[in-house]
Structures are given as C-alpha cells and as structure tokens.
Structure 1
Amino acid sequence: MDLEYALSQTNVCAEQQAEDCGIIVFGASGDLVHRKLIPALYGLMRRRLLPPRFYILGFARSDISEETFRERMRKAIIDAHGEQPPDMLNGFLAMCRYSAGDYNDPAAYNRLAGRCSVCDKDFDSSGNRLFYLALPPELHPVVVERLAETGMTAEGPDRNPWARVVFEKPFGHDLQSAIALDNRLARVIASHQIFRMDHYLGKETVQSVLMFRFANAIFEPLWNRSYIDHVQISTLESIGVEHRGGYYDQAGCLRDMFQNHMLQMLAITAMEPPISFYADRVREERTKLLRSIRPWSMDDLGSWIVRGQYAASPASSSSLPDYNSEHGVRPDSTTETYVAAKLLIDNWRWQGVPFYLRSGKGLQRKSSEIAVTFKRVPYSMFGMTSKAQMPANVLILKIQPDEGIDLTIQTKQPGPKSCMSSMALSFKYQEVFGITPPNAYERLLLDCMQGDRTLFWSREGVEAAWQLIDPVLAAWREKPHLCPLHRYPVGSWGPEAADELVRKEGRRWRRPPEMAGTHEL
C-alpha cells in the first residue's frame, strides 16, 4: 500500500554556500580524485553550494598538461553524472589547474606556492586554501611539512585567510603510528586546521541517526538496555579488492573498515546526547562511547571475533578469483577480507546489550545498514503463539544502496481469524524527497570549506579506536590459533563461524533484503 508523505513546511535547514577558496588536491591523478572528489565538487556546483570565487589546483607526480588534466576531469564528471550541459561543465573545468612535482621535492612546493598565488589573484578567492591529501598515509607528514616550509599553511589574523588540511583514511597504520603522525603534524599546523576524513560519516542515513534519535521523543526513551535486545551493524560488499590489492593486503578488513567506518557508525548509534550540536561536543560524545567499549579478551578471542577470507566458488555467478590470486596480493596471504565481531559497551545505557558488527568482501549482496532489534513482548495473548514465536520489532537504518528507514511492526491480517502479519513502515529518501541523496563527499567537502568538523575524527577518537583494534591485530599476528582464518565461498554470506557467533546466543544475522513475507505500508 502506498502512503502519501507530507513534508513539514517548518524544515530547519542550515545548508549554506561555501566560502571563497581554492582547493589544492594532492594525488590529483589518482582514482579517488576521479571517482569521488571531482564528481562531488561538481555536484556542489550544480546545487549552487560552491562559492563564486573558487578554483581547483591538482598536484601529482604525473607530468601531464593542464588540458589533459581537464579532459580527465571531464570524463570523471560524465562517468559519475552522465552528460552535462556544456556551459555548466565547461565553466567548472575552467576553474581547474594542474601542477606536477615530486612530493618530497622542496622546489616543487615553491612552484606550487607560486601557482596558488596566481590562482588566488585570477579567481579572487580571498586567499583561503583547502589542501586535500588523497595520498597514502606515509606521505601525509612530509607533504604537510613541505607546505608549512613554504608558508602555504599559514593563516591570517583571526584565521582570515584560513588554511585547512584534509587527510583521507587511514590515519596511521596502528596506535603508535597514529600518535607519531599527530605529533609531527602538531609541530607545523594547529589542531583546528586538521580534518580527518571518514566518508561513511557523510552518508545521509548515518547523519540521520543523530536527528532520528535526538529530534523524536518517541524513540530516544526506548534507546537503551530496557527495550533493545541487540544491534547489528553491517557493511557488506559483493565486489573483491579490485585494483586495491596491494593496499588491501597490507591493511585487511579490520584496519580498512572496523577501525574507522564501523566504529564510527557504532559511536553515532550508541553515544549519549551531546549538550549541543557544536562540533566539539558531538565529537566528545563519540569518543566517550568508543572508550566505553569493553576490550576483547585475548585468551578467548575466537568467541568474540571471526575472521575470514574469500575463495572462488564454482557455484557462484561471480567471476571473483581466490583472494590470494588477486593482483597485488601475496599468494600465501592470511589477510582477512571478512570480520564479524561481538562488542559490549560498559555504561549505564547499554550494559548487557550485544552489538554485532560485520564487514566483508566477495559476499552475496551489497548492503550497509544499522538494524536495531527491540525486545519481544513480555507475554503473548494471541492463541497458541508463544512469546518466542512473536517477531520482534526491528528498526533498520539503510545506508546503501537504497538509503532510508524501515520499521517492522506486527498487525492483524484482514479476516475473521486472529492472524498476525509483519508490516514494514518504509521510508526511502529518493521517493519522499524526489532526489537521490547527495554523495557523501559532497557533504564533507562542504563542511571542510565551512570549517565544520562535526563529522570528522578527533585525535582522541582516532586513538580510542586504535586502542581497541591494536591488541586484536597483535593477537592475530602472534597467536593466530586463537582466531583462525576461515575460508568462505564467493557469493555466500561469509564464514559459517560468523553465523555461529550469533546463533549460539539465540540470534541470527539479518540477510537483506529481508522483507519476504512482510507487507510494505
């Protein structure tokens, strides 16, 4: 049944155009810039959120002409958005410049500083600069130090003009390297200039969790151990490592997904209400939550965490090979492509409520969601139906591919008998608002230009996450028998051991879409 949605005429919207600035993109010839950054910036221009005085200056090792760079940007935009009005696309490309050089060469930064000065004058951009480091983490400190040496990160009185630096994940390879990186950065730039990017925090549904919880009186009173049975957070991918084999084999799923995306989604789902929506207050509560997670027992790690690695399957329609046969991956690699974990949070709100997190590649379907399962009714009065047979209410916050919110409830089927049926109250962003939700990078880039760090990692948050993850990585390295690597076939839902992780507690993983047998209102 279709429902007619009425949108309130009292919407509160703080979306404003960014300040005049230039964006200097390091790693400008890389895949991330082509697939995400340039399409996101173009999307902001289409929404009239880019400032009128603005430029993009790409910097990379590739010795290409400015015209070649613009043509690559043209292709990136068309690949992401389809054919565009020529005037709009050409107007955007006219703001693009390019400079080649080695990331370690001081002379290259002197040339870059000169290009920035010319662009500031040509585009009248007020001297504000946003440096985006789409680079491997080992290059982060040297790039920032070189920028500081040439004065490009210096700010004016009262931060006018301003200079900000955006760091793509991962921020460090472990706790020690993350602390060392922060200490090096602190010697050359101020903390307010640092923006640690986690693009999952820019996804519409992830952002909506905070507003859903704290702007609706009917849910927040239920958001605790008295009413919630358990929470599942999933980020599942059907693809393999693709062209990232070399990087992924050094990182693995725990570093690539858990240390950042998964723990941030957990923090937003479970954090306490901040006293205001001011960036530092929100980030403080996220960090408090991360510090409340109970460390896993290293002597019994296999009872809490399951790790797996995908293997080719003749029964699957996917053409993915064994992980160890992927380009850039060592043939004898024991790097995990799947992790499932149970976490407990030691605080008043969540004591005793299990949080189940899972992420993996080469699985049956792409799906990212947060599923909150409420406790069943305390007593069943409906005929022979027992409490155990009564389905629980489940709130599903769908992150991708179809962003929206579902709430399953129980209701009576039409007819003379007391027959019960599950119904899904379903909300989809695209259907309700008539638009596809903006790319996560659009929101985060806009926040960078506006100086809003609400959706970015704090130093304390990064360290809290690594403090939880580091002991697990050490145990896998030093005592692998405590948590064996399970092979799972491509196209499956992951290792059988992951199913057992929740099954032994009388629960099961959701396998989206899980609306078969329900009616959508």
Structure 2
Amino acid sequence: MVSRVIPVEVFDLVIFGATGDLARRKILPGLYRRFLSGQITGESRIIGAARSEMDRAGFRELVAKAIAEFVAKDRQDPAVIAEFLDRLDYVSIDASKGEDGWHQLKEMMRPDVVRAFYFSVAPALFGELAEKLHSHEIANSDSRIVVEKPFGRDLGSARALNTVLASHFEERQIYRIDHYLGKETVQNLMAVRFANILFEPLWNSQFIDHVQITVAETVGVEGRGSYYDKSGAMRDMVQNHLMQLLCLIAMEPPYHFDPNAVRDEKLKVIRALQPVPAEDIVRGQYLPFKGAPGYLEDSENPESRTESYIALKVHIANWRWKGTPFYLRTGKKLRARASEIAITFKEPPHSIFDDAAGWRENVLVIRLQPDEGMNLTVMIKEPGPGGMRLMQVPLDMSFADALGPEVSDIPDAYERLIMDVIRGNQTLFMRGDEVEAAWAWTDPIIEGWESRGDRPRGYDQGSSGPEDALMLMHRDGRRWREIKE
C-alpha cells in the first residue's frame, strides 16, 4: 500500500528559536523528510531566526548536522540534503531586545506565497514576537503563527496570552500545536469511530464499562528539573495531551470533518467534565533507586510537592457517558515507554456458557507509541476437545505490518501538523476557547491539593506508579492495564 503525497503550496516558513532543541530534533529534520518525500516543492523557503550570531552558511551547517543525527540513515540522500539546504536562510533576531534583524526579515518575505511563523521559543516571548511581526508589517492577513505549549500555566495566563495574540492575529491565523493530535493513530481513532458502522452504535455508557488513557515515560526530569518543578504532570501532560485524547474518544460526531465543527464538539466534552474530588486523584514522585537520583534531587528542590506522576478518575456529565469513568494516568520513570487508549466493553447481558468457560472482556486498544496500531480482543473457543472453553485472542493491526514498507514515509506528528499549517487546516490544532475551558477545569484540581497541602506519594523507578493508583481502580472492581512496550 503506497501512501499518497500531496504537495503543499509554495511558502516562506520562519522558525523563531531555530537553533533550539525542538527545532534541531523535530522541526528541521521533519521538514527535510517532507522535502525528500516530494511534499515541499517549488521555491519554498525556510528561514531560521534566533539570537545566535550566525550567517546563512553557519545555519546550513547546523541543519546538516541535525539531519545527520535525527534522520534515519537510509533516508539521508546527499543530493537531496544539498538541495534542501539551498532553501535555508538565517537572520539574527533577539525578540526581547531592540529592532536588529526585523528589517532584514521583512526584506526576505515574498508577497505571493504563504507566510508562516513558528514560535519555537519560551511562551513569554509569544506576545513580543506577535507585536513585532505586526508593527514591522512582516505578517499579512493570510499569515499563520504556530505556538508551542505550554499555552499558559492557568486560566488567567492563558486568557492573557490569547488576548495578546488576538490583538495582532485573528483566530483563524493562530495554530496552537499539540503534537499528540498529529499522530497517525490518534487520527485513525476518528476514522474508526465515524467511518465505520461497527463501533459508533456501541460507543456509549450502555456498552462501554470504562476507558483508560495511559502515557508512560521511562525518562525523568533530569536536565529540565527546575522548569518541570513549576508545572508538574497535571500542567505538562493532563491539561493538554491527555485532555485532547479524552475529547476525541468522548466527543459527539461533528456534522463534517471541518476544523470548527470538530473543535466545537471537543469543547462540549471539556465543558461537561465534572469536578474531580480529592479521593479520585493520586499524585506521585519517583524515588532514588540504585544510585539514580529521585525527583527531589532532579528538581533540585528537596521540599518540592510537584508531581511526576498523576492518576485521575474522571466523569463526563452528558447522556452518552453517564456512569462511565475515564481513568487517566501519566508519569515519569515508569516501567516502559508506552502511550495507549483502552476502551473496555461491558459483559454480555447474559452468558450461555458456564462460569468455568472463562469469559474476559472485549477491549479495543489504540497504541500511540512505541508501535502505532490498534488491537481488539475478542472471545473464541479454545481449540481442541474437552468441552466449551473460551479464550481471549487479539485482532491486531500494526500499521507497519498492515500498510507495508511504505508506512515509513508516513509523516510523524510534527511533519503532518506543519504541513497542515501551510494548507491552512486547523482541524488538529486547539482553539482559544478550548484552551481556556481546559484550564477552567484544571485550575480547581490544582488549587485543591495546594490548599490541602497534599504531598505526592513516593514510587519506585521502573514501577507502574504509586500503590495508591492501583487502589483507585481496585475499589471499583477494575485494574489498570499492564504498562509494557
């Protein structure tokens, strides 16, 4: 099966923070892969902008090293790399100081192509960049800006940031990026639900017992501990990544696969989220282990009450999901790196088999990483004589197996989302009111544990999290799925 590559319009893409880690690891190598695949054509250009004093040749050397390090060796074509590097330019700009570089950047802009500006910088600079692009008349009425998370740290700061951006750009021009929404499997969740009659009639509290969303990491916060200690797992992961996955699972069918139609339905889910009581929240910090530092050491704050792990039981107050809990968990230094959504269906209303037949639930698992794909477990008769014995077997679809070797050319999340920016398609990006609604639900949860003075529970590195998180489900007669690669 060959994936179709549809070229995008000619563009000028300016990457602010072009010498930073995100640009080097994801954005620039991703743009090279899209160029290699033929999706970037014509006279499109990529312009790096950062504080570093560097000329065009120096920037091209930096990008060449990034491609060598972060692109698979079998996709490094010297001739294509050379052609890609020819499309790069650079301008030295310090967004927080003076006017140097802005006139030069304006001169680089072409009037007849798409203009996009990627803010791969600290959120504190978003407003300054937006103001400078406006005051120097670099951005026009069709320009797009891409802003990275964190988009605020609470409702007040998110509203302030939205206000600043809205004073210079219309909502249709603002692309708030969440790379989880660019994953192939996340989008396939919508296809499975809304392009097949098989699941949607069952997609409600009558047939679904509960839903688990897990994002587990094996790494800690070393190297960014002081930053992470000001956010924690709730702000860093739940408010954005897990919230978006929850919305796609729980939303009503939109009238059309249209940016605002999809985001309208996601917004309804967020606004229907019920407050979460203290007993339905478990927070944790990883402990030291065999010489490896714990969270308190990594964060350089021995009194820290910031969580590196969180699990929540969430309810949605609407007809479709009344009584069906959603269990969310995410954490660092866990047993394996794995992200998945598991939809567990209820038992049949009446079993014609003896209890000894061994019934087990049907589960639809959507794997986001490391091996993207879907898995549906069903019950069948165990082969052989000896009576009716049931066993659980998977109907498994790994994208790499099902789609063949061409699957390697499917763009990763950042590649796909940047191409959507050039196309002007906001479907997979968060809208301003969506961000604010998420913070309106999140803030009281954080304020609650801060006012109570709750301390996170310690958990062992390489485990599945605090013991209290197991009890969160055990008391409901359920259990977490095993965290494994």
TM-score range with shorter-chain normalisation?
Answer: over 0.9
Corresponding position of 2:38: 48
Distance 1:313 1:243 in 2: 18
Corresponding position of 1:517: none
Verify: 1:486 aligned to 2:457, yes or no. Answer: yes
Verify: 1:348 aligned to 2:319, yes or no. Answer: yes
Amino acid in the other structure paired with 1:278: D
Verify: 1:423 aligned to 2:399, yes or no. Answer: no
Corresponding position of 2:184: 204
Corresponding position of 2:222: 242
Distance 1:503 1:460 in 2: 36
Corresponding position of 2:173: 193
Are the counterparts in 1 of residues 12 and 45 from structure 2 also a CA contact under 8 Å? yes
Are the counterparts in 2 of residues 106 and 146 from structure 1 also a CA contact under 8 Å? no
Verify: 1:449 aligned to 2:441, yes or no. Answer: no
Verify: 1:152 aligned to 2:138, yes or no. Answer: yes
Distance 2:83 2:395 in 1: 44
Verify: 1:103 aligned to 2:95, yes or no. Answer: yes
Shift in Å, 1:477? 2.0
After superposition, the Cα gap between the structure-2 partners of 1:347 and 1:367, relative to the gap in structure 1 and judged at 3 Å, is same
Distance 1:119 1:72 in 2: 22
Corresponding position of 1:93: 85
Are the counterparts in 2 of residues 21 and 51 from structure 1 also a CA contact under 8 Å? no
Corresponding position of 1:518: none
Distance 2:86 2:458 in 1: 50
Verify: 1:131 aligned to 2:129, yes or no. Answer: no
Are the counterparts in 1 of residues 106 and 136 from structure 2 also a CA contact under 8 Å? no
CA deviation map 1:134-190 (0-9, x unaligned): 1111111111111111011222xxxxxx21100001111110011011111121221
Verify: 1:29 aligned to 2:19, yes or no. Answer: yes
Verify: 1:225 aligned to 2:202, yes or no. Answer: no
Structure-to-structure mapping, 1:118-517, within 5 angstroms? 118=108, 120=110, 126-155=112-141, 162-297=142-277, 301=278, 303-314=279-290, 320-326=292-298, 329-385=300-356, 390-417=359-386, 418-434=388-404, 435-436=407-408, 437-481=410-454, 484-513=455-484
Q: Tell me the matched-pair count.
A: 479
Are the counterparts in 2 of residues 320 and 490 from structure 1 also a CA contact under 8 Å? no
SS where residue 306 of structure 2 aligns? coil
Distance 2:37 2:333 in 1: 35
Shift in Å, 1:512? 3.8
Corresponding position of 2:72: 82
After superposition, the Cα gap between the structure-2 partners of 1:496 and 1:466, relative to the gap in structure 1 and judged at 3 Å, is same
**Please, which runs of 5 or more residues in structure 2 have no aligned partner?**
none
Same amino acid, percent of matched pairs: 41
Shift in Å, 1:119? 5.7
CA deviation map 1:12-52 (0-9, x unaligned): x7x63211111111111110001110111111112211131
Shift in Å, 1:447? 0.4
Distance 1:453 1:75 in 2: 32
Distance 2:222 2:37 in 1: 32
Amino acid in the other structure paired with 1:430: A
SS where residue 69 of structure 1 aligns? helix
SS where residue 242 of structure 1 aligns? coil
Amino acid in the other structure paired with 1:307: R
Shift in Å, 1:458? 0.6
SS where residue 223 of structure 2 aligns? helix
SS where residue 356 of structure 2 aligns? coil
SS where residue 250 of structure 1 aligns? coil
Are the counterparts in 2 of residues 240 and 320 from structure 1 also a CA contact under 8 Å? no
Shift in Å, 1:61? 1.2
Are the counterparts in 2 of residues 27 and 33 from structure 1 also a CA contact under 8 Å? yes
Distance 2:132 2:123 in 1: 15
Amino acid in the other structure paired with 2:16: F
Range that drifts further, 362-371 or 146-155: 146-155
Shift in Å, 1:196? 0.5
- TM-score, with normalisation over the residues of structure 1? 0.89
CA deviation map 1:349-389 (0-9, x unaligned): 00000000000000000000000000012233323427xx5
Amino acid in the other structure paired with 1:500: M
Are the counterparts in 2 of residues 231 and 373 from structure 1 also a CA contact under 8 Å? yes
Distance 2:463 2:72 in 1: 33
Aligned mate of 1:114, from 96, 104, 110? 104
Shift in Å, 1:116? 4.4
**Please, which runs of 5 or more residues in structure 1 have no aligned partner?**
1-6, 156-161, 515-521
Distance 2:254 2:465 in 1: 37
Distance 1:112 1:77 in 2: 28
Are the counterparts in 2 of residues 232 and 355 from structure 1 also a CA contact under 8 Å? yes
